[in-house]
Structure 1
Amino acid sequence: MNKLILSTALLALTAGGAFAADTIRMGTEGAYPPYNFIDDNGEVAGFERELGDELCTRAELTCTWVTNDWDSIIPNLVSGNYDTIMAGMSITAERREVIEFTQDYYPPTASIYLAPEAGIDLTGAVVAAQTGTIQAGHVATTGATLLEFATGDETIAAVKNGEADAVFADQDFLLPYTEDGSLVVVGDPVPLGEGIGMGLRKSDAELKAKFDTAITAMKEDGTLNTLLKKYFGDETSIY
């Protein structure tokens, strides 16, 4: 028992010491374009990579990037495998019970359904969504049959191979899949979440303050809006 208590205490101490470390490890999924993805050189790229690097520069922090599967991304933050989450993660009350968030760096935006053809009855459909997302939680309340997958790409594949009738995810992730005409938007957009923010351990208040200050500065000087338009288009929500 005493060994278990000591081990738990040491883990908490280690996890709480991120700000004192020489390098801040930025955790992301690397599989949710244009928010984050792995480029042809095997490097993390996308909106959150560019934004995160700029935030680290403004906060005078040395940062490196770490990838982690979405379904374990919060547990591995809490256990100390990295120090932040920048992975298109919506701020929700449920997640706030486990981790802390910075202020949002992307305003609340809509989620949408895609299907092979218009006119599908979504309430009676089989709908694919990525596990552990607010979109999966929403589908579960609609009366539709929820089919969960580990990655966004798998949700798209499930619709294209007939395993699911529709897919539900962030509008910015799904819209590129309509360009070849194989999938179309069905139903109305659904606003979910409180915007997208950076996740941190609750013990890292000083690190959170550093990043909040940097996000505020980018909002005030317009550079965050410039990045949002670069990756999500001129019609995207801005500050």
Structure 2
Amino acid sequence: MKNLILGTAAVALSAGIAFADGHGKTIRMGTEGAYPPYNFINDAGEVDGFERELGDELCKRAELTCEWVKNDWDSIIPNLVSGNYDTIMAGMSITDERDEVIDFTQNYYPPTASAYVGASDGVDVLEGVVAAQTATIQAGYVAESGATLVEFATPEETVAAVRNGEADAVFADKDYLVPLVEESGGELTFVGDEVPLGGGIGLGLRESDTDLKGKFDAAITSMKEDGTLNTMLKKWFGDDTTTY
């Protein structure tokens, strides 16, 4: 993970959850809102997606009052640390490097593969130009792979770089890329080998918020045990997705 620069002001978006945390504090759930199906902004201007639905259910089970806060990816960790919100729920993979700066709950999405997508089958992903989103584990992997890395602030821009010829391929979470390939009418295709990265996806929290981490961990455990998390994973990522 690269050094992240404080910048974009967070915009609070009401989650519509009315469960007290016992102390009257509203827990602010930070997300990017630009990484479907994990998180995105719907036509009503509200945070939506797998993590919105999951986060609302976790807050309900933990008896927390929560609201959603949108923040650009490149400053999402610094703005958590500085107190602009209380969690990160934004498709963030658990890594040792990030864990040195913030804390994580257990994963709520199992470790899965990252993949390359190009405009043709003949792309050399180890020596070509590969696009990735800034400050992701995918960008770090490409930088060390021998390929030429081009970084972009948003995932949409990484795919656009392939479409306009600026990059030979994009490297990202496979689950993010699958619907884009399926909907491209053959314009985009998977190339190269899949690469397992990270320790799954979890909620990021400040290292000092141990009580809050415990509440979310307990809620995640309950959803794993009663099967509702698997049901939600299949709803958003298909029946073939990795489950618990």
Same fold (TM over 0.5): yes
Matches within 5 A, 1:50-65: 50-65=53-68
Work out whether 1:166 is the aligned partner of 2:169: yes
What is the aligned partner in structure 2 of residue 188 from structure 1?
Answer: 193
What is the aligned partner in structure 2 of residue 127 from structure 1?
Answer: 130
Q: How many angstroms apart in 2 are the aligned matches of 1:96 and 1:24?
A: 21
Q: Structure 2: which 5+ residue stretches go unaligned?
A: 1-20
Matches within 5 A, 1:200-215: 200-215=205-220
SS at match of 1:197: coil
Aligned-pair identity (%): 74
Q: How many angstroms apart in 2 are the aligned matches of 1:59 and 1:211?
A: 7
Give how far 1:120 is off.
1.2
- Tell me the alpha carbon deviations over residues 200-228 of structure 1, each in whole angstroms, 9 at most, x when there is no partner: 00000000000000000000000000000
Q: How many angstroms apart in 2 are the aligned matches of 1:121 and 1:171?
A: 18
Matches within 5 A, 1:86-235: 86-179=89-182, 180-235=185-240
More helix by share: 1
SS at match of 1:65: strand
Supply the AA of the counterpart residue of 2:202. Answer: G
Give how far 1:177 is off.
1.4
* Cα distance change of structure 1 residues 19 and 196 upon mapping to structure 2, 3 Å threshold: farther
Question: Which has the larger displacement, 173-182 or 155-164?
Answer: 173-182
Q: How many angstroms apart in 1 are the aligned matches of 2:160 and 2:137?
A: 20
TM-score, with normalisation over the residues of structure 1? Answer: 0.91
Q: How many angstroms apart in 2 are the aligned matches of 1:112 and 1:223?
A: 27
SS at match of 2:105: strand
Supply the AA of the counterpart residue of 1:44. Answer: V
Question: Does the CA contact (< 8 Å) of 1:19 and 1:204 recur in 2?
Answer: no
Give how far 1:124 is off.
1.3
Work out whether 1:48 is the aligned partner of 2:39: no
Work out whether 1:34 is the aligned partner of 2:16: no
TM-score, with normalisation over the residues of structure 2? Answer: 0.89
What is the aligned partner in structure 2 of residue 5 from structure 1?
Answer: none
What is the aligned partner in structure 2 of residue 78 from structure 1?
Answer: 81
Aligned-pair RMSD on alpha carbons?
A: 1.2
Q: How many angstroms apart in 2 are the aligned matches of 1:36 and 1:101?
A: 18
Q: How many angstroms apart in 2 are the aligned matches of 1:182 and 1:19?
A: 52
The structure whose Rg is larger is 1
Q: How many angstroms apart in 1 are the aligned matches of 2:99 and 2:180?
A: 31
Give how far 1:19 is off.
9.2
Between Structure 1 and Structure 2, how many residues are aligned? 222
Q: How many angstroms apart in 2 are the aligned matches of 1:140 and 1:193?
A: 16
